[in-house]
Amino acid sequence: MGIIETIFGRGLFISYSRPPSFFKFVFLGRAVIFTTLEVVRPARTFSYLPVIARDLAAYVAFRCAILPVVIYLNNIVPAITRLL
């Protein structure tokens, strides 16, 4: 039994070492670390408040315009390649 299994327990270690859970925890850990670093020592002296509206608009455009087109094309292209 490894040290991590000893600390967390075998059941908890196995449930969090599965790929979906593992990558969620890695993403969350990186978000916490890099957000803390950015707050402590910002890379630029820039107000992020004006950018939020543009980020939200880009997200809405992606979800409403680009993503449906990609899903549609993804369903069409395999059908065409099966006919060839």
Average pLDDT over residues 46-54: 82
Does position 1 have pLDDT exceeding 60, yes or no? no
On whether the CB atoms of residues 25 and 16 are closer than 8 A, the answer is yes
Tally the C-alpha atoms within 13 A of residue 47's C-alpha that lie toward its C-beta.
3
**Taking 90 as the threshold, does the pLDDT of residue 60 lie above it?**
yes
pLDDT over threshold 60, residue 83? no
User: What percent of the chain clears pLDDT 90, i.e. is strictly above it?
Assistant: 13
Which whole number is the average pLDDT over 49-60? Answer: 89
Confidence tier at 7 by pLDDT (50, 70, 90): low
C-alpha span between 11 and 14 (Å, rounded): 5
Write phi, then psi, for 43 (nearest 5 degrees): -70, -35
